[in-house]
Amino acid sequence: MPLRTEKTYSKVAYLGILGALTIVLSIMENAIMPALPFMPPGAKPGLSNIVVMFAASTLGLQETLLIVVFKSLFVLITRGGSAFLMSISGGLLSSLTALILIRMDMKNISLIGISVAAAVVHNIGQLLMSALLTHTLMLLDYLPLLMIFGVVSGVITGVIVSLVIPAVSQVQTHKYFGGVYGEKSK
Amino acid sequence: MKKLIKTGDMILIVFILAISLGLLLIRLPARADTRNVYAEILVDGEVAYEIDLSRLSEERIIRLGSCTICAGHEGVEFIESDCPDQICVQSGQLSRPGDMAACVPNKTMIRIVGSEEMDAVTY
């Protein structure tokens, strides 16, 4: 039995596309909105979370974490070590939250609620890391504004993901992808 | 258009907004007059400078490692930094109590403190 099958190559290509997408969204975020006026510096709409949420819903734990780490490594290369730490802390916490919530499969919560929770956790995680890096609790003053912002960006991200997933699953019959891996039918 | 939002979502959102509003109310900074405000500059968690902005007659430039901070009568701001993100520089000028800016890679922060928030000035 061959070690690498056609499915493996398809998986690598698919994840590569998702990873590239995450990075492009991340670049876009940073280019368009370097700093919102009244928000803490570094608050981002979280567009790259669209891909993370997508992976968490249609793929599995490993793929999602891979995308998060991939994005954070890109941040490491382009924006430095402290940005990397903030990205990975927020990203890991939020993706784990999303994965757990999706796994729990609660009837009253849709992808939008999960996305909101993930976005808020992402912001909180980043804020905590920045407090750790600067050795003060001063930046925590931004917590309420960040949470509100997290709700807004979570809703936007959630709506987009909810629209993207049905659209993508129509493409899954393409032989090149051999079906979306481990897709949980929602 | 298919209904995307469920009840649990709304409850969660309201819950989060309630918490954040609560936090906001607790921490509402005293928007005092700008007569007795001063800027705190922290490096690595320790206060390095406290500058009374109202007493400044001319602009004062402070170089802390790789960040350059300019303090004047109107406010304080980062004018230069070697960090890749430049978020600190883009934060602009801080003048009111509660305003703050930070350069995380350099662990440098500026915060404007109003006279009602502190009991005494020791510097």
Q: Could you report the per-residue pLDDT of A64-113, keeping only the tens digit for each?
A: 999 999 999 999 998 888 889 989 999 999 999 999 998 887 888 888 99
pLDDT of residue B53: 75
Mutation site for A-interface testing, chosen from B47, B104, B106, B109 by largest number of A Cβ within 10 Å: B104
Q: Which amino acid is at B117?
A: E
Q: Are B106 and B96 in contact (CB under 8 A)?
A: no
Element (H, E) at A71: helix A61-79
Whether the CB of A76 is below 8 Å from some CB of chain B: the reply is no
Whether the CB of A120 is below 8 Å from some CB of chain B: the reply is yes
Give the whole-angstrom CA distance, residue B100 versus residue A39: 11
State whether the Cα torsion A93-A97-A98-A100 is positive or negative: positive
**pLDDT tens-digit series, residues B67-115:** 888 887 778 888 888 888 777 887 778 877 777 888 888 888 888 877 5
Q: Which of B112, B92, B98 is nearest to B50 (CA)?
A: B112
pLDDT of residue A122: 93
Q: Which of A104, A92, A100 is nearest to A66 (CA)?
A: A92
A134·B5 Cβ contact <8 A? no
Mutation site for A-interface testing, chosen from B10, B20, B94 by largest number of A Cβ within 10 Å: B20
Percent of chain B surpassing pLDDT 70: 80
Give the whole-angstrom CA distance, residue A71 versus residue A50: 13
Q: Which amino acid is at A138?
A: M
Percent of chain A surpassing pLDDT 90: 32
